[in-house]
Amino acid sequence: MATWKKETGDDQPADLTPDWYDRWTNKAVPEKDKRGTMPGTHSNATSILKPGPF
Amino acid sequence: MKYLLKQAITCMAILPVYLLAAAGKLHAQTKQPNVIIFIADDVSYNDLGCMGHPVVKTPAIDQLAKNGLRFTNAYLTTSSCSPSRVSILTGRYPHNTGAAELHSAIPAGQIAFPKLLKDGGYYTAQAGKWHLGSSGVKPDGVFLNAFDRVGGSHAEGGGPGGEELWVDYIQQRPKDKPFFMWFAAQDAHRGWDSAHKPIKYSERDVKVPANLVDTKTTRNDFVRYYEEVSRFDHYVGKVVDELKTQGVLDNTLIIIMADNGRPFPRNKTRMYDEGIKTPLVIHWPAGLKARNEVSSSLVSVIDIAPTILELAGISGSPTIQGKSFKKLLAAPTAKFRNYVFAEHNWHSFRAYERMVRTDQFVYIENGLPEQSNVGATDIMGGAAGTALKNHYQAGKATPLQSLIFITPSRNMNCTTIQGIKINWSIFMEKRIQVAAATTGQHIGNLEKGNRR
């Protein structure tokens, strides 16, 4: 998995998109509609062609 | 002289045979297959009759499987609608598409393989659920360029499951081109509707999974789900009938699959088999020798794009990370992948999980163990989810039923295929490259029983 993450540019940003709802009540929270940083953004993963282990 | 005459006679006799064979070969090389992908919405791999479900009836798909090939180890790259569809169409992992989260816009530069088919002379069309971009329903975004015709959704009068226009698409297509159709049902996504259910079920028929609570509301929830799976099958059957009528069924490569698992707790969005594994049935009489055969080879849905492109004789894109599994169509038991990988990213709730699976092991990492892992809002707001939540709140839930609510949740989860024993230390040392595992089935966070 480490090889796959490295080769395909996967990562876990500190500011991932937050919960939009309360996990127990399902009601919307103030952070609703806020987007954070998606995995792969820092490594520009959209331009990476390597597939990782096959 | 006698010898030359004999040779001439032999040549004259062979020549027509040779020319016929050459013509046949040429025909085979130039006749590009039509392709239809039927993609169900929120249906687990084992919820079709041909995939072993004891109750759900899917006669049309079962018939396709009987005359084709079904895969028992086909894996999605994520158990979330729009990122899963983008991954399938690009042949790329979700974090490599730039659209890893639900309803996120697809960056320019990502290539949907139907665009390559279109550029290669195919007529391409999409009908039903869009979910390829920031909009759930309304077609938008960069993938519009991949299709000659787009629409037929629930919102546009495409029927309750978005399938009413599928036959019309087959009838209205240009007849002088091979075609590719992306037929995306909205069955069996919540919320349920009562319109046109070809097959009815009873609450008595329901098999309630052990991680849920066996209540009347849970059973009714499953009845509605079963009915929508059967409705998906019904519309697949109508298209097959139309293909037969037009005489094009034999050279139409039909693929049956789903975008993610059933919309119930611990299934959709999650990395267990009922969330991340897809049914996969392939039917193609003209090109597939297999009849009623099963492939247990590991395949990823990012392999579908390169497979179709190769069968169509069209060059793939260097952006595709999957590989063609064409060889499995001729030899279903052949070895293909050693690994499949999958992701769980934001879907209503913050998430970061990763899965790798071999033919023997599944390993899941959870990057956010401080939070519970309840899944999407539509799941927990549904009848089965509500019943489970009430049961847990009342202190009556079993450990298995409690898993999705508990914090901290597991940060690591390693399971085996049922019955296979592993040595944990070897596993940890070599990660998933376990070669000589022998003892100690349940150690550390190993989940008891199986990976579901």
pLDDT 10s digits, B393-436: 999 999 999 989 988 776 666 666 554 444 444 444 444 333 33
Instruction: Tell me if B147 sits within 8 A of B126, measured CB to CB.
Output: yes
> Encoding tokens for residue B354?
């990763």
Q: How far is A26 from chain B (nearest CA, A)?
A: 6
> Encoding tokens for residue B258?
């789903």
Residues of B with CB under 8 A from a CB of A: 93, 95-98, 100-101, 104, 107, 109-110, 318-319, 321-323, 337-339, 341, 343, 345-346, 348-352, 354, 356, 363, 365, 367, 371-372, 374, 377, 380-381, 389, 431-432
What percent of the residues of chain A are helix, what percent strand, and what percent coil, each to the nearest 5?
20, 5, 80
Greater confidence (B357 vs B427) lies with B357
> Encoding tokens for residue B340?
């499949």
The confidence band for A5, taking pLDDT boundaries of 50, 70 and 90, is very high
Residue of B261, B196, B278 lying closest to B234 (CA atoms): B196
Strands B252-258 and B280-283: antiparallel
Using the Cβ of A19 and the Cβ atoms of chain B, whether some distance falls under 8 Å is answered with yes
Model's pTM, two decimal places?
A: 0.88
The label of the residue with tokens 């005359």 reads B67
Using the Cβ of A39 and the Cβ atoms of chain B, whether some distance falls under 8 Å is answered with yes
pLDDT recorded at residue B30: 45
Instruction: Tell me if B117 sits within 8 A of B312, measured CB to CB.
Output: yes
Q: Tell me the C-alpha distance between B201 and B227, whole Å.
A: 7
Q: How far is B373 from chain A (nearest CA, A)?
A: 9
φ and ψ at B10, to 5 degrees?
Answer: -60, -45
Read off the pLDDT of residues B22-33 as tens digits, 9 standing for 90 and up.
333 333 444 899
pLDDT recorded at residue B432: 37
Q: How far is B432 from chain A (nearest CA, A)?
A: 8
Say whether the ipTM exceeds 0.90. yes
3-state secondary structure of B293: strand
Instruction: Tell me if B238 sits within 8 A of B358, measured CB to CB.
Output: no
Q: Tell me the C-alpha distance between B402 and A8, whole Å.
A: 34
CB within 8 Å: B339 and A53: yes
Q: Tell me the C-alpha distance between B222 and B209, whole Å.
A: 10
> Encoding tokens for residue B111?
């290539």
Which of B90, B96, B319 to probe by mutation at the A interface, max A CB count within 10 Å? B96
Instruction: Tell me if B161 sits within 8 A of B235, measured CB to CB.
Output: yes
Q: With 80 as the cut, is the pLDDT of residue B20 above it?
A: no
| Alpha carbon B206 to its chain's center | 24
Instruction: Tell me if B120 sits within 8 A of B345, measured CB to CB.
Output: no
pLDDT recorded at residue B289: 85
B380 contact residues in A (CB cutoff 8 A): 23, 26
